[in-house]
Copies of this chain bind each other. A is one copy, B any other.
Amino acid sequence: MTLVVQKYGGSSLADAESIKRVARRIVETRRAGNDVCVVVSAMGDTTDELIDLAQQVSPLPPLREMDMLLTAGERISMALVAMSITTLGHTAQSFTGSQAGLITDEAHGRAKIIEVTPGRIRAALDEGHIAIVAGFQGVSKDTKNITTLGRGGSDTTAIALASALEADVCEIYTDVDGVFTADPRIVPSACRLEEISTEEMLEMAACGAKILHLRCVEYARRFGITIHVRSSFSNRPGTLILDRPNEGEENVEAPIISGVAHDRSEAKITVVGVHDSPGKAADIFRVLAESGVNLDMIVQNVSAVESGRTDISLTLPKTDGQVAAKALDRVREEVGFESIRYDDQIGKLSLVGAGMRSNPGVSATFFKALSDANINIEMISTSEIRISVITRGDQLDDAVRAVHSAFGLDSSEGEAVVYGGTGR
């Protein structure tokens, strides 16, 4: 018997009617002859409401108690899903993260999974039950405190369970039909990808594609889990995320380009007038690392020979921006630079595709498309299968549409399969 792990997010569980619809879908999967283990998020706005309550009683709630509070959300949704399944003539049992064997470290609010011991889930499945598991939560190995996994937590729970249970597929249900070549709100002609490699999906997620959190894709790749991203509001197939390394070199029919991702969540810091002598850049990055910020792109401009000074630009999440700027300001004299410029009106555009490796014309097409659209490029960063640029924030949408179109990703039907074309 095949084993399917399914994950339903909060938007698929907004109210009683949504829960009943999800229950019907779960039962269909069971009746098709599969064992089914389901991971659920909290219903709709539950988590926000709980956070609001916490802020009413405490300006800075202790993280241990915040985790205790928030985990009530999945407890409610999982019990309701289990009940709803029972009315359809199947039996279901719900399990907390702790009961499901999600063992984590002690980092409340952003715990990492250390191991998964799903003995109770295995037993429930073997007894013929559908198992419902609370996403986003676990129990710490040493102190046995309740923890939450932080962003992307429920997806990560599903993938971790799929791995531990050796499931055949992990279906991530969401409110869109799958992974698209670009955000359909910006590019209406964007089309759904039938499949994408975990490697490409990693780059897409890292570059702002919201559909799956980077962390889940990393987890899936590490353990070789096939993810099927699909909509809980339709029966259409979604996007398969497959572990197929170097696919671009083995399959000449595969698309060169997977898609265009964009991201408005970053800010740019420019450290102006750094002494162009050994160790100065290292000082700057040491200070930033000590303040705990996550850097993304880093660019050092060519040194102005006459002054012996240079500028270093970097991007980072806007949420880390103030911390980073303050940390740098404190060491201005010590490190020896002139000033700091902070800019949060930027956008980041990334073109992702495993086929780039063997198609040298990609970057030429990319930069010509941006140039033709009068987009000014402020920073550039590349990997083997990705090109990213920083633009003005208000030019980002135009840039996405220009690049999407230049690589022949536009589809008049909106559902065509993408074969990227001619290696321009």
Give Cα A83 to B75, complex, Å.
20
Contact A72 B69 (CB under 8 A): no
Checking B65, B76, B120 against A82 with a beta-carbon cut-off of 8 angstroms, the contacting residue is: B65
Contact B68 A75 (CB under 8 A): yes
Checking B57, B73, B76, B92 against A80 with a beta-carbon cut-off of 8 angstroms, the contacting residue is: B57
Question: Contacts A64-B93, A93-B64, A99-B144 known; A76 to B50 CB distance under 8 Å?
Answer: yes
Give Cα A58 to B87, complex, Å.
6
The A interface is mostly helix, strand or loop, or mixed, namely: helix
- Interface residues in A9-35 by Cβ distance below 8 A to B read 16, 19-20, 23
Contact B84 A79 (CB under 8 A): no
Q: Is A71 an interface residue (CB 8 A)?
A: yes
- Interface residues in A211-263 by Cβ distance below 8 A to B read none
Copies of this chain present:
2
Give Cα A91 to B61, complex, Å.
11
Query: Looking across the interface, which residue of chain B has its beta carbon closest to that of A58?
Result: B83
Residues of B within 8 Å of A335, CB to CB, are none
Interface flags, A22-61, vs B, CB<8A=1, else 0: 0100000000000000000000000000100110111111
What's the nearest-Cβ distance from chain B to residue A30, in Å? 16
Q: Is A167 an interface residue (CB 8 A)?
A: no
Residues of B within 8 Å of A94, CB to CB, are 65, 68
Give Cα A352 to B93, complex, Å.
47
Residues of B within 8 Å of A113, CB to CB, are none
What's the nearest-Cβ distance from chain B to residue A85, in Å? 9
Q: Is A78 an interface residue (CB 8 A)?
A: yes
Question: Contacts A69-B75, A72-B76, A94-B68 known; A16 to B82 CB distance under 8 Å?
Answer: no
What's the nearest-Cβ distance from chain B to residue A61, in Å? 4
Give Cα A80 to B51, complex, Å.
10
Q: Is A62 an interface residue (CB 8 A)?
A: yes
Contact A69 B79 (CB under 8 A): yes
Contacts A72-B73, A72-B75 known; list 17 others, CB within 8 Å. Answer: A19-B57, A53-B80, A54-B83, A57-B83, A58-B84, A58-B87, A59-B87, A61-B86, A62-B83, A62-B86, A64-B93, A65-B80, A65-B82, A68-B78, A68-B82, A69-B80, A71-B75
Contact B87 A57 (CB under 8 A): yes
- Interface residues in A81-130 by Cβ distance below 8 A to B read 82-84, 86-87, 91-94, 96, 99, 120
Give Cα A362 to B91, complex, Å.
59
